[in-house]
Amino acid sequence: MPPTEHSTRDRLIDAFENLLVTVGSRAATLDAVAAAADVSKGGLLYHFPSKDALVEGMLDRLRELGAQDAERMATARQGPVLYYLETSVNSGSDFDRGLTATARIAQENDSRASGALADLRDGWFAVLREHLGDEALARTIQLIGDGLYFDDTTGLAEKSALKHVRDVLKRLDVL
């Protein structure tokens, strides 16, 4: 199947995210993105006329992936709580790479990136709140997931952490 405009756009966003994650924002120049995606600079500029446009494209895609994740969470066989907790690890997926890249941009005080991350959290929270019927409990589950993700992405995770959380939530009759 020949490459489409969409696949070229995605390759450019993938390259941008990879650069943000591995070498940081300063090194994620348009020239570096074009080279990493194996696209001419003119090809990159056709899709993204500026670095700002590239950031917007990345955030739009992250929001789409987040909405899809919230839908999977709402309909997960194991239920939304376990789905959320089980996926609160860095699996190396495109979605995780997008989250990390967006966090890098947010750390530079970019309100667009912070807003995109807030939108993701709001989507997950809405599913938890609807499922649990309790705003405080939903926020607590979300904070537990945040802790699991932080531990995993910083190398602090203990192998038994998720089992421990499951056991406690079962004792509290949340699961």
CA gap 105, 97 in Å, rounded: 13
Does one domain contain both 136 and 87?
Answer: yes
Residue 76's SS3 state is coil
CATH number at residue 22: 1.10.10
**pTM of the predicted model, to two decimals?**
0.88
CA gap 58, 13 in Å, rounded: 6
Token pair 């990493």 in the structure block, residue: 36
Does one domain contain both 39 and 75?
Answer: no
Structure tokens at 121: 């959290």
Does one domain contain both 81 and 21?
Answer: no
By the 8 A CB rule, do 59 and 112 touch?
yes
Does one domain contain both 103 and 160?
Answer: yes
Q: What is the pLDDT of residues 94-152, one digit of tens each?
A: 999 999 999 999 999 999 999 999 999 999 999 999 999 999 999 999 999 999 999 98
Structural domain harbouring 95: 58-171
Asked whether the predicted pLDDT for residue 6 surpasses 70, the reply is no
